[in-house]
Structure 1
Amino acid sequence: MGELRLEELSAKTIVAANSLTLRPGQEQFVAPPSYAIADAWIDPTTSWPRVVLDGDEVVGFIRGNFDPDAEHDYFRSCVWRVHVAAESQGAGIGKFAVLALADEARKRGFTQLTAIWEPGEYGPEEFFKNVGFQVIGETAYGEKIGALAL
C-alpha cells in the first residue's frame, strides 16, 4: 500500500467509486455507492463526498454530512457512508477516511462525529468501535448510533 490521500469526488473518480466491491455478506449493510454519490449532489452545502486513493487507484469512498441545523443532533456531523474495496479492507483505509472526516468536522467547529449502523454479523460495528466510536443510542428502527468525540 502506498501513501493514501483523499480527493473530491469528480467525473474522473465517480465510476471507480461506484465500482467498489464488498466482501460477501456486507451487501445488506451498504446501499450501492451510486446512492451516496447521487445524494452528494442533492445538497452540496452539507455533503462531503471524497474518494480514497492509493496511488492512482480508488480504494475507498466516504461521504460525510455537515448540517448544524439538522433536527436530530446525530445528523449534524456524521459519517453518511464509508466503503472500502473488499480486497483493501483491513489495511487502515476506512480508518484513514473516517479520521480525515473527523478532522474536517473539527475544522467546522463540531465536537463529535456520529455514525449510524445496523447491527449484524457482517456489519460495521466493530470497525466503528475500533476507530473510537462509542454507542450512545439507538434509532427507532434498532440501528446503533455511535459517536466519536472530537
Structure 2
Amino acid sequence: MTLRLEKITPDNVEAALKLGVRPEQEKNVEPVAVSLAEAYAWGETAWPRLMFDGDRLVGFLMAFLDIAWNPAKFPEDRRSGLWRLNIAADAQGRGYGRFAVGAVGEEIRRRGRDRLFTTWEPGDAGPGAFYLKLGFRTTGEMSGGQTVGVLDLAPVS
C-alpha cells in the first residue's frame, strides 16, 4: 500500500463526489457532497481530504479542528477530531479507515492537541466497534443522536 491524503481540487472533485460507501452504511455517514458543502461553510475549521492507495481513490475523510464544543456552557472546551469517514464500498476491510484515523491524529498533534474526538451512529449496524477497536472510549455525551468518542493521542516525541 502506498497511502496518501490529498486536498480536494478541481482535478479530483468529480471522483470525490462519486465515492460511495456500502448501501447499508449510507444511514451512518453523509455523502461526500454534503461534507464538501459543510467544509465550505465551516472554512478553516474543516479539513477535508481524499485518500489514495497509489492512483486509486479509496476514501474521504474530514476533520474538524479546534471548534468550541458547547460554547454556552464550556467556552474553553475546544475540540478537534474526525468529522466524516467514507471508505469506498469496494475498498473496505483493508486498513484504510485505520490509516485515516491515524492521519487525522497526526494533524491534530501537529496543531498542538492531544485528543481526537469523533461521533458515530449507535447500534450494531454502526461503526462503533471499529472506533472502540482503535482505542476510542465513549465520553458519555451524545451529539445529534450520535455517540461521542475520544482517543488520547500519544505525545509527539
Q: TM-score, normalised by structure 1?
A: 0.90
Q: Which stretch shifts more, 74-83 or 90-99?
A: 74-83
User: Which consecutive residues of structure 1, in runs of 5 or more, have no partner in the other structure?
Assistant: none
- Structure 2 residue 79 is the aligned partner of structure 1 residue 79: no
Alpha-carbon shift at residue 21 of structure 1 (Å): 2.0
Contact 2:35/2:62 (CA < 8 Å) preserved in 1?
yes
Equivalent AA in structure 2 for residue 66 of structure 1: L
Which residue is equivalent to 1:55? Answer: 54
User: In the comparison of the two structures, how many residue pairs are matched?
Assistant: 149
CA distance in 2 between counterparts of 1:141 and 1:12 reads: 34
Alpha-carbon shift at residue 70 of structure 1 (Å): 4.2
Equivalent AA in structure 2 for residue 103 of structure 1: E
- Decide which structure has the larger Cα Rg and report it: 2
SS of match in other structure, 2:63 = strand
Alpha-carbon shift at residue 139 of structure 1 (Å): 1.3
Q: Which stretch shifts more, 113-122 or 133-142?
A: 133-142
CA RMSD between the two structures = 1.9
Q: Which stretch shifts more, 58-67 or 131-140?
A: 131-140
Task: Give me the identity figure in percent.
Answer: 40
**Counterparts in 2 of 1:131-150, with a 5 A limit?**
131-139=134-142, 141-150=144-153
Change (3 A) 1:79 1:25: same
Which residue is equivalent to 1:13? Answer: 12
Alpha-carbon shift at residue 68 of structure 1 (Å): 4.6
Alpha-carbon shift at residue 107 of structure 1 (Å): 0.8
Change (3 A) 1:122 1:75: farther
Task: Find 2:107's aligned residue among 104, 108, 120.
Answer: 104
Alpha-carbon shift at residue 22 of structure 1 (Å): 1.6
User: Which consecutive residues of structure 2, in runs of 5 or more, have no partner in the other structure?
Assistant: none
SS of match in other structure, 1:91 = coil
Contact 1:75/1:114 (CA < 8 Å) preserved in 2?
no
- Structure 2 residue 49 is the aligned partner of structure 1 residue 31: no
Equivalent AA in structure 2 for residue 81 of structure 1: R
Alpha-carbon shift at residue 138 of structure 1 (Å): 2.6
Higher share in strand = 2
CA distance in 2 between counterparts of 1:98 and 1:140 reads: 19
Q: TM-score, normalised by structure 2?
A: 0.86
Which residue is equivalent to 1:91? Answer: 94
Alpha-carbon shift at residue 71 of structure 1 (Å): 2.9
